Structure 1
């Protein structure tokens, strides 16, 4: 069983609430908010915990919001290693309009990092990562963190022979796809993939061809592209597969948390020795389960187990 270390450089306290109607002008009176620890890597660790697995969350935190975040993690019994940064950890908010069902999400930028914080974080992650671990870098980067941070992290982890799973977006993702860094897994969604490809990826075949080009160029050993409600495509040098979601679109309550649930389940499966294909199916079931929950909630183990047999795996 391989250890799992998740990394969240830009965590957040996620507040979620409901309002009768969200309109500009008058005060929008909301229900009592629910607070959850948030950020890509944190949610991956939470999903692993909900599925009965174990991981350690490396979390960069600062200020009173950061202290609150760590208390929330402790209350969920998620094991963590805290890395102190200058500035306050951010907060985010999602408000669901009861009249329409629409969800409004407000995301803050987070504290600004300098070069010393970046270098200190790389050293701290290298020290925290066990040998032969699966390391997950997930979520946005704080302002000031260089776009080549995933490449730097991959080099820093090389002496410990860790398998790096990168799930990022924007400029860091583009920089990664223009290099031959070669992390174990690179994941993105369909919108990000189309932006990188500079063309629509209308079919599973189109998606698989784009992912295969990234693998051939040495960008990553495995490339996973989420196709929204259609599921996820996995490509490596051995083949191309697609796993379709196990639920009807009408069952979708909130898309928040689907990606993190997928990553958590995928890495949990890999840590216990499953193949990448089996991990793809497990991840798809977890993503399907996550969209059935409200707000910032993630997957439930019982739902994942119930949906697992309904996930359709095909070669592309």
Structure 2
């Protein structure tokens, strides 16, 4: 199927390890079984999801050291087109440990510090690689200016940036919208949205109201907010949509957001409208929670779930 190019950007990737222990307790040595290593990081996982859905994508990834080399080899082996940017320091690691009761413990290292020179080099390299839609997803490395997403949006022109970030970068985008740096889509999960709203968003109507406020303030042309098992809300100037997935058996919630973003962006790149993109993203997120560990959505699961997702237009 024809599509416009997609470039995913991962500034602070991680080499992910998932494993199981009989019981997570303090004190004794805990012997993990069946460790699985996977290339991780927001944009990396978005690229992996797009690749799993038979889309075309290039993954721009900042990698360094021996863990970076292992990360690159794993991602390349999955058939993803990788553009490696030489990052300062070693690529960080993260762990997802599941105990015998099914509880999952997620641990992450921060990553190496970046200088302004590192950030400037990265910005120029991303722009040089960009040819269509650009997805900037995941956390920023320590030391990077929170305004980096807006700097990238300004350099790309024409509102081509899909942003799914956190921390200082998200606070900057929401708190200080830049009319010269238009975001095409801003995606948040429920916890991030409630943090930025500074109050709970318990109902779908509450989520929609907050998303519409962000659009009205010029934060992004479209704002998509995940609302847990209730699915996702998408708001635009003349758009108010909610998509709810069917109930599925949950194995791991890791990767649901990245699967959503990947499927959503791929749908847009294939020329589909925002409603269809929301449907596809919702089905992919539901498919992702059915997989173990840090595994992402599977195409067959997504296709099976898609007809069972419920899309409705909300009252603005």
Q: What SS does structure 1 have at the residue aligned with 2:34?
A: coil
| Residue aligning to 1:108 | 109
| Residue aligning to 2:125 | 124
In structure 1, what is the Cα distance between the partners aligned to 2:77 and 2:138?
22
Map Cα deviations across residues 75-128 of structure 1 (whole Å, 9 max, x no partner).
101001000012000011111001x11001110001110010000000000101
Task: Tell me whether 1:176 sits opposite 2:177 in the alignment.
Answer: no
Does the 8 Å CA contact 2:133/2:269 hold for their aligned counterparts?
yes
| Residue aligning to 1:165 | 162
Q: CA deviation at 1:180?
A: 2.5
Q: What SS does structure 2 have at the residue aligned with 1:309?
A: helix
In structure 2, what is the Cα distance between the partners aligned to 1:162 and 1:200?
30
Change (3 A) 1:40 1:293: same
Q: What SS does structure 1 have at the residue aligned with 2:141?
A: coil
| Residue aligning to 1:252 | 250
Deviates more, 1:284-293 or 1:198-207: 198-207
In structure 2, what is the Cα distance between the partners aligned to 1:22 and 1:279?
39
Q: CA deviation at 1:162?
A: 5.6
Map Cα deviations across residues 122-141 of structure 1 (whole Å, 9 max, x no partner).
000010111xx110000000
| Residue aligning to 1:153 | 152
Gap runs ≥5 in structure 2: none
| Residue aligning to 1:221 | 221
| Residue aligning to 2:191 | 191
Map Cα deviations across residues 156-179 of structure 1 (whole Å, 9 max, x no partner).
111xx4610000112211110122
Normalised by the size of structure 1, how large is the TM-score?
A: 0.96
| Residue aligning to 1:27 | 29
Q: What SS does structure 2 have at the residue aligned with 1:191?
A: helix
Task: Tell me whether 1:140 sits opposite 2:142 in the alignment.
Answer: no
Does the 8 Å CA contact 2:251/2:289 hold for their aligned counterparts?
yes
1:7 to 4, 9, 31: 9
1:36 to 30, 34, 38: 38
Map Cα deviations across residues 40-88 of structure 1 (whole Å, 9 max, x no partner).
0000000001011110000000001001110001110100100001200
Task: Tell me whether 1:299 sits opposite 2:297 in the alignment.
Answer: yes
In structure 2, what is the Cα distance between the partners aligned to 1:286 and 1:308?
8
Map Cα deviations across residues 175-211 of structure 1 (whole Å, 9 max, x no partner).
1012233300000011111111111111111100100
| Residue aligning to 2:202 | 202
In structure 2, what is the Cα distance between the partners aligned to 1:209 and 1:162?
23
In structure 1, what is the Cα distance between the partners aligned to 2:117 and 2:198?
36
Q: CA deviation at 1:297?
A: 0.2
In structure 1, what is the Cα distance between the partners aligned to 2:167 and 2:111?
16
In structure 2, what is the Cα distance between the partners aligned to 1:137 and 1:189?
15
